[in-house]
Chain A
Amino acid sequence: MLEIEGLAAQAGGFRLQGITLQIGEGECHAVLGPSGSGKSTLLNAVLGTLPVSSGTLRLAGEDLTRLPVERRRLGYVPQHLGLFPHLMVLDNLIYSARARRVPAADYQPLLDRLVEITGIGALLSRRIATLSGGERQRVALVRALVANPRLVLLDEPFTALNESLRRELWWLVKDLQRERGLTVMLVTHDLTEAYVLADHITVLIEGRQEQTGDKREVFNRPASLAVARFLGLKNLFPATVVGTAEGRIEAHCPELGLNVGLVGTATVGEAIMIGLRPESVALRDAAHLPRPGECLLRGTVRLVDLGSEVSIHLHPETGGPVVEAVASWRVVERFGLHDGQAGVSMALPKERMFWVRTQ
């Protein structure tokens, strides 16, 4: 549906370069990155408010690079929603129909259906200023969708909402996406939002495309140290490549005292980092014996209450690096853990480990 190849764009002194990604029809693709990573620059290039310096930008086979914004047929929900405060809700919703001179008979069935799904029927004659945050989000979504866009661009539209409302709207977007077969490009810095809504993820860092792929792949196997750090991965341990064979490497991590085989190519002697998501680290009984394929560590734990779950920091007896695990309170209670407890065992499964280059 959307094909971006070798795209470069300049916004003031900031340059975005070498962006290549595809968004398939009916797919949600999240563009993730910290502030200043180039998310907005990429979004503006797709929107058409920023000229493309080089590369191609095609939507359903049509070259967008020279097409004015109003002819790209995009749905756009910006961070502050961009609702027109001088118009009633209904006038906001049918703005696109009026601008394009679409007769009511052509847009009314879709408008009725969207109003029904989002439950905003009672708001149509209200002023924008009288709507709550959640109501505004719904109106902005419906307004973007009633124009029947080929691609919907969501620019961090849920950041100003409280957690429960955000989750409610995520499901609404997912429902709308499923029913309408929407193709969505979501720009966000929120990892959870990206994970819940997107099928694929692109991570931008300092104007570069660091990684693009299936969301599980990106979250479980970050392609670089920058991505791993952006994703908040804390279990990163220095290692050295000690062997290579047919698309696999053998790495030695002195801090954990383990050798592990991993997918990928590197040169022998190269310094890398081995990583493991905290969710992949498992608590074990004190009597548990190491199994093949896992690295067993024993030490003292510190518990950090995260509300619904617990972050468990293991300080190994051998003096190695702190290993972080995440578990539910139920699991913590089952193991009878308490803060500062010594002699706790944790298993680091090798098949869940990933590696990244240090440079």
Chain B
Amino acid sequence: MKLLPHAGGVRASVAAALAVLAIYAGLIVSLLWFFDTGILRETLFSERTLFSVRLSLMAATLATLLALFLAIPAAYALSRYRFWGKEAADTVLEFPIIVSPAALGAIILIFFNNPLGEWIQENVIYFVFGFAGIVLAQFVTVLGIAVRMLKAAFDAVPLELETVARTLGASPRYSFFTVTLPLARNGLIAAFILAWAKALGEFGATLMVAGSMAMRTETLPIAIYMRLSNADIERTVALIVVLVSIGLTALFTARHILGGGRRA
């Protein structure tokens, strides 16, 4: 029999939940100490900031789309099939989480210094210190999370539905696009939004691969780093407000879509 928790226990538990909110909200509110609307307006509409916003949005969107392009079939295979190397592939999805982004970026940078990496840079596409490098760093960082989230979404679609679709004459591809993917829609949207938000805030790997060059590889997090390095706290705060606003909007959109899906 499950006993009702002691009232003291309930209070402590609720207090812990509110403490979590207080920590993050407090950190955000503390920015107000250095908040200056004049500097915010000037920073927001400066060419350099608009470049950073554009670069961040483009790189994060491209990196996320590329990650999903690979993650959808990979997650489906991990969810549905048994194959050699499945366990290793499943475990490696956590790699970007356990390895620090800086180390991940360093690994990518080192790769482009070996003969294969050099050949790719010379003959296919040049990554280091450029837009492609930013996209690659963000792609590698978010790929594991995208696969993990999509696998969970595909796992939630009963295999029986695909079998029924096949007996009704659907090819595996038709069944995937008309049954599996529509039913995994919420997971797909959540994976896109969360991977995109993570890519947008990505700093360590991007810094390693693309460097910190103003008006060239200056994504929003890199811009924050550069302003802070120059002790320009008011402009740093302005950029943080931009980044936090975009990130929180993405998170609340994901929650709204997923909540709406559950109610349906």
Please give the residue numbers on chain A whose beta carbons come within 8 Å of chain B beta carbons, in ascending order: 47-49, 68-70, 72-76, 78, 80, 82, 84-86, 95-96, 98-100, 143-144, 147, 149, 153
Q: How far is A100 from B163 in the complex, measured between Cα atoms in Å?
A: 16
B163 touches A96 (CB 8 A): no
In the assembled complex, 13 residue pairs joining A and B whose CB atoms fall closer than 8 Å, in A order, are A68-B166, A69-B167, A73-B169, A78-B160, A78-B163, A82-B158, A82-B163, A84-B165, A84-B179, A86-B182, A95-B168, A95-B178, A149-B167
- With both chains docked as a complex, state the minimum distance between the C-beta of B184 and any C-beta of chain A, in angstroms: 10
B233 within 8 A of A: no
Q: Name which residue of chain A comes closest to B159, CB basis.
A: A49
B171 touches A70 (CB 8 A): yes
Q: How far is A33 from B61 in the complex, measured between Cα atoms in Å?
A: 55
Q: How far is A47 from B169 in the complex, measured between Cα atoms in Å?
A: 12
B183 within 8 A of A: yes
B167 touches A100 (CB 8 A): no
A84 touches B161 (CB 8 A): yes
Which one of A48, A80, A96, A99 has the highest number of Cβ atoms from chain B below 10 Å of its Cβ? Answer: A99
B170 touches A99 (CB 8 A): yes
B167 touches A76 (CB 8 A): yes
Residues of B within 8 A of A72 (CB): 167
B66 within 8 A of A: no
- With both chains docked as a complex, state the minimum distance between the C-beta of A313 and any C-beta of chain B, in angstroms: 38
Residues of B within 8 A of A153 (CB): 167
B174 within 8 A of A: yes
Evaluate whether A100 and B183 lie within 8 angstroms (CB atoms) in the complex, with A69-B163, A80-B160 already known. Answer: no
B164 touches A78 (CB 8 A): yes
Residues of A within 8 A of B164 (CB): 76, 78, 82, 84
- With both chains docked as a complex, state the minimum distance between the C-beta of B260 and any C-beta of chain A, in angstroms: 14
Evaluate whether A100 and B161 lie within 8 angstroms (CB atoms) in the complex, with A84-B179, A86-B182 already known. Answer: no
B170 touches A70 (CB 8 A): yes
* A47: contacting residue among B158, B163, B168, B170, CB under 8 A: B163
- With both chains docked as a complex, state the minimum distance between the C-beta of A12 and any C-beta of chain B, in angstroms: 10
Residues of B within 8 A of A68 (CB): 166
Q: How far is A293 from B163 in the complex, measured between Cα atoms in Å?
A: 54
B169 touches A96 (CB 8 A): yes
Q: How far is A153 from B174 in the complex, measured between Cα atoms in Å?
A: 22
B163 touches A76 (CB 8 A): yes
Residues of B within 8 A of A82 (CB): 158, 160-161, 163-164
Evaluate whether A49 and B170 lie within 8 angstroms (CB atoms) in the complex, with A80-B158, A84-B179, A86-B182 already known. Answer: no
Evaluate whether A86 and B183 lie within 8 angstroms (CB atoms) in the complex, with A69-B163, A76-B163 already known. Answer: yes
- With both chains docked as a complex, state the minimum distance between the C-beta of B15 and any C-beta of chain A, in angstroms: 39
- With both chains docked as a complex, state the minimum distance between the C-beta of B202 and any C-beta of chain A, in angstroms: 34
- With both chains docked as a complex, state the minimum distance between the C-beta of A39 and any C-beta of chain B, in angstroms: 15
The 10 closest A-B pairs by CB, nearest first: A82-B164, A96-B168, A69-B166, A99-B170, A76-B167, A100-B169, A99-B169, A82-B160, A96-B169, A70-B166
Q: Name which residue of chain A comes closest to B167, CB basis.
A: A76
Residues of A within 8 A of B163 (CB): 47, 49, 69, 76, 78, 82
Q: How far is A145 from B126 in the complex, measured between Cα atoms in Å?
A: 58
Contact mask for chain B residues 200-217; partner A; CB cutoff 8 A; 1 contact, 0 none: 000000000000000000
* A95: contacting residue among B158, B170, B171, CB under 8 A: B170
- With both chains docked as a complex, state the minimum distance between the C-beta of B176 and any C-beta of chain A, in angstroms: 12
Residues of A within 8 A of B165 (CB): 84, 95, 99
Residues of B within 8 A of A73 (CB): 169
Residues of B within 8 A of A75 (CB): 167
